[in-house]
Structure formats: C-alpha cells, structure tokens
Amino acid sequence: MSGGDMAKPLLGHRSMEGDPSITPAAGRTIGVLGSGDFARSLAIRLVCSGFKVVVGSRNPKRKAGLFPSAAEVTFQAEAVKKTDVIFVAIFREHYSTLCDLADVLAGKILVDVSNNTEINHHKESNAEYLASLFPACTVVKGFNVVSAWTLQSGARDGNKQVLICSNNQEAKRTVAEIAQVMGFTPVDMGCMSSACEIENIPLRLLPAWKIPIFLALGLFLCFFTYNLVRQVIHPYIREQKNKFYKIPVEVVNTTLPCVAYVMLSLVYLPGVLAACSQLYYGTKYRRFPDWLDQWLQHRKQIGLLSFFCAALHAVYSLCLPMRRSHRYQLIETAVKQAVEKKMNIWVEEEVWRMEIYISVGIIALGLLSLLAITSLPSIANSLNWREFSFIQSTLGFIALVISTLHTLTYGWSRAFDENQYKFYLPPTYTLTLLVPCTVILAKVVFSLPCIQQRLLRIRRGWEKGRYVKFVLPSATGEYSSGETSSNV
Ligand code: NAP
C-alpha cells in the first residue's frame, strides 16, 4: 500500500494534503493572540517550522520570557499590524475584549482554535461568534482538535489531522498550507457551518465504544450474577458452606470467558442476520434496520473487547495455582487420599480433557490476538482487502469454532450430570453455547452450494423479481428484445 493511502484521513472528508494549489508558506509572519499554553506551544511549533512569529499579549513584558527568543512578543495591536494571519488563542468569553482592535484586524484571516467545555454549549459555534464580532475579517476554524502537547511534540506523538472549515476558500487554503508546513494533515471540512461539529470532536468520549462497552458490562453482570448464584449462594444455602472467597478470582474467571466467547459470536451474528435479510428479500439494495446497521459498524470494538476479556481470562487462569485456597485444597485432597490409602489418582479421561482444553484455549487466544492486531489502522492499512477479509472473516470464524471446542472440552459431560443443575440452573457453559452454535450452524448452512450461489448472486447485484430487458439474436440475424424476470 502506498504512503498516500496510509496518510488518508480517518474522517470521510477531503484531505488537503498534497493539494497542488497549496504552496510552501514557511518564512511568512504568523500572529498569535494570547500567551497561554496553546499560544506558547503554537509559537514554538511555528518557529520550528520556519515561520516568523509575532505574539500579541496584554502584558508582553511579563510573558516574553515564556516564548522562544525567535518569537516577537508585543502588544496585541502591534502584533496584529505585522501579519495577515492571526491565530486567536484565547477563550470565547474574552473575544469581545478584542473589539478595540476591529480596525487593525479588518481584512485579516483569524484562525479560531477554541474549544468548549460542553458539547453544543452555545447556539452558534465559537468561530461563527468570532465572525459575527469581526465581519470585516475572514474566520477559519482549525487546530482545535490538536492539543498544546501535540503541537509541542510536532505531530510525531498524537493526532496528525487538523480539521479546517471556512466560508472563504482562499483563507482555508492559506491555513491548510500552514498546517501542512507544521507537519499536520489538513482536512477540509467544508464551510463554516461545520465549525460546531469540529468544536464537538475533542469533547466526545470514545463515541464508537459506548455501545460495545455497555454490551460487555451487561453480559458481565448477567454471567457474574448467574455464576455467583451457582458457585457461592447455592453451597451457602444448601450446605451452609462459606465459598465467598471465590468471588474475586474464581467467579470472575468463570465469567470472563463467557463474556469473551459470547462477544466473539456477536461479531459474526450481524453478518448472519444481514445474509438472512438479503436472502429473504432477494436483494442487497434494501436498507438494513438501523439497529443492524449500528451493530455491523461496532463489530471491531466488540471483537476487541472479546479479546480483552479472553486475555484477562488467560492471566487469571495462570494465577489460579498461586492462591492460598488452591494450595489448601490440594493438600487436603492429598491427605484424604493418603488416609484412604488411594495410590492411583490418575484419571485418563480427565488428563486428556484438560490437555485438549488448554491447547485449544491457547490457539483461540492466539487467533484472537491476530484479529485484534490486524484491526489496528496502521496494520489494516498495510493489508489488501482480500488479506484483511481472510483474517477478519475466515480466521475469525475459525477462532469462534476453536473457542467452541474450548468451551465444550471445559464443560464435557457436565450438562448431563443432574448434580450440576444448581437451583435447577444449567451449567453456565451450556448457556454460552447458544449464540455461537447458532452462528456456526448458520455459517454451515450458508456454505451449502445452493444457498452460497444465491447469496453470491445477490451480492453481485442480482435482485429477486426484478424484470430485466434482454436482447436475443433472431433467426435472420436481427436482434429482438423482450422482458423476463431475472429469477428465471
Ligand atoms: P490559557 O492558558 O488560559 O491562555 C489564554 C490566554 O488568553 C491568556 O494567556 C491571555 O493572554 C489571553 N487573553 C486575552 N484576553 C484575555 C482576557 N480578557 N482574559 C483572560 N485572558 C485573556 O488557555 P489555553 O489553554 O492557551 O487556550 C487558549 C485557547 O486555545 C482556548 O480557546 C482553548 O479552547 C484553545 N485550545 C487549547 C488547547 C490546549 O491544549 N490548551 C487545545 C485546543 C484548543 P495575555 O494575558 O497574554 O493576553
């Protein structure tokens, strides 16, 4: 994959990087109003990128020492006079204090870098508000998505994208050019009406992760309660045995694989539902319901959370023998066997079950790690579509099958043992098998040639009941036309 592809912005807007109309800008003088954290980092970055910088402060004498010696720190009015492009690095509340400078600011480009403290805090965006205060200036929104820290570290360590919007193309191009010289990737977000969206971006907390995290927490809570009742509450009520010590490690460790396994199957279930819908309606052009669309879009996050739970389960399992309770139980069993003079404790079936259980568990975790690594943008970008879909789809499905083997070898014949039904509740592993086995079964059905062929045709654009025009050569060599159903 080319370097250009790697540099593609994550957002679906036009990247301005490599735009031939953008020319090198280093050497020009850039103004910065304000002397706070952002202004300082911006000035350092601009100086390092070869720009001349003039900082406008209300108190230049006091603030000059905070800036690199190459930057000129002067009064606001003086700074504004010396440049055509001015970064306004002050908070929205203080914009009105700049109104005295309206005359000197007229005709200049003002870059609004401000953020809010809440999403949609004000009716109009900060940039629109600045534009309304200074109608004789051209306002460009930009740089608010990069932090003072990213500015100082020079875009090596942090988000490289700078989202830019303005109603003036020329001004937008000038700011994009500055961003590019500073080592950032300018992204054209269109006109000023996008400013509100750009200002909301730094305030969003993991927007794509909310649903998957709630899903994982919900599943964890359900399985934890179920395991708690079976492993702790049942022995306490029925046999007056105190097993509460199991809660921090054992109950959590039996809950984590349930969540990991069900979450993994939930990565593949929406694909199955989508295929069912396409087969039922005989078209790929019908929109999926919103909930299915959302689900399909969150598969990556659901898969990563599944990997996270599986990794925690592996660590917990490795630590099981370290617990005091485990040592006491081991010694107790050994003493009991010595008292009963039992010499041969080797159970061949149990030995084989554990060997297979551990081995398939390790393989499943290895495959899940591969899926997680290849879902990272930098790795995914280095794979072509076929490689990516082979790993995420085929290997992912194999991981689900191997996880099913891991679960089955863990449960073994417990589902048929009546003592395992605590309070008539079946062993947890039988519940976890429901969704994954449905997915596996559906995938097997879809791989039957008659269904696979139909699905393939639908995905190539064929539609049930759609009449298509056909053209046949007649006996005389002329062409006659007619209508037929594409079903036929
Ligand atoms: P800050 O450290 O508090 O600096 C604000 C500066 O505004 C002050 O140093 C002050 O400089 C100037 N100012 C001008 N008029 C003022 C007035 N009437 N009252 C108080 N101060 C006044 O804030 P900051 O962190 O640099 O943030 C500045 C802007 O950048 C904000 O809009 C913020 O949303 C945006 N931003 C910041 C970051 C970040 O990482 N910090 C990231 C993205 C965007 P003088 O005293 O020299 O005039």
Return the pLDDT at 26: 63
CATH code, domain with 171? 3.40.50.720
The reported pLDDT for the residue numbered 143 is 97
For residues 149 and 226, membership in a common domain is answered with no
302 and 224 in one domain?
yes
| Per-residue pLDDT tens over the stretch 366-396 | 999 999 999 988 888 899 999 999 999 999 9
- The pTM (predicted TM-score) of the whole model is 0.75
Residue 103 Cα to ligand 1 midpoint, Å, equals 22
The yes-or-no verdict on residue 445 having pLDDT over 90 is yes
- Nearest Cα residue to atom 18 of ligand 1: 94
Does 96 sit in the ligand 1 pocket, CB within 6 Å? no
The pLDDT value recorded for residue 336 is 93
Are 391 and 341 found together in one domain?
yes
pLDDT at 300: 94
Indicate the average pLDDT of the chain: 90
Please determine, for residue 272, whether its predicted confidence score (pLDDT) is greater than 60: yes
Whether residue 472 is contained in a domain is answered as no
Structural domain includes residue 467: no
Ligand 1 atom closest to 63 (CA):
47
Report yes or no on 419 lying in a domain: yes
Which protein residue has the closest C-alpha to ligand 1 atom 41? 38
pLDDT at position 18: 52
- Can you give the CATH number for the domain in which 245 is found? 1.20.120
Comparing 213 with 22, the larger pLDDT belongs to 213
Task: Judge whether residue 470 has pLDDT over 60.
Answer: no
Give the chain's count of helices (H) and strands (E). 22, 11
Q: Report pLDDT for 478.
A: 43
Please indicate, yes or no, whether residues 173 and 216 belong to a single structural domain of this protein. Answer: no
Rounded mean pLDDT, 190-197: 96
Is 195 found in the same domain as 296?
no
Question: Domain end: 150, 172, 203, which one?
Answer: 203
Closest CA to 66 of 39, 94, 27, 31: 39
* Residue 10 belongs to a domain: no
Are residues 198 and 219 part of one domain?
no
Q: Residue for token digits 């010396």? A: 82
Q: Lowest-pLDDT range, 169-173, 189-193, 271-275, 336-340?
A: 336-340
Atom 17, ligand 1: residue with shortest CA distance: 94
Residue 292 maps to a domain: yes
The parent domain of residue 257 ranges over 209-460
162 is a domain residue: yes
User: CA of 96: how far to CAs of 129, 132, 134, in Å?
Assistant: 10, 11, 10
pLDDT digits (tens, 9 = 90+) for 153-188: 765 656 688 999 999 999 999 999 999 999 999 999
* 118-138 pLDDT, tens digit each: 998 899 999 999 999 999 999
> Do both 283 and 403 map to the same domain?
yes
Residues in the chain: 488
The residue out of 178, 203, 228 marking a domain boundary is 203
What percentage of the chain carries pLDDT values higher than 70?
89
Ligand 1 pocket check: which of 33, 37, 152 to mutate, most ligand atoms within 8 Å of Cβ? 37
**Structural domain ending residue among the three candidates 158, 181, 203:** 203
CA distance 135 to 414: 76
Q: Do the domain assignments include residue 470?
A: no
pLDDT of residue 352: 96
**Contact partners, residue 18, CB within 8 Å, separation at least 6:** 4
122 and 217 inside one domain: no
How open is the CA angle 39-42-30, to the nearest 5 degrees? 95
Residues 6+ apart with CB under 8 A from 244: 232, 236
| Residues 312 and 454 grouped into a single domain | yes
What total number of domains does the chain contain? 2
Same domain, 183 and 216: no
125 and 261 co-located in one domain: no
Tell me whether residue 135 is in a domain: yes
Percent of the chain surpassing pLDDT 90? 81
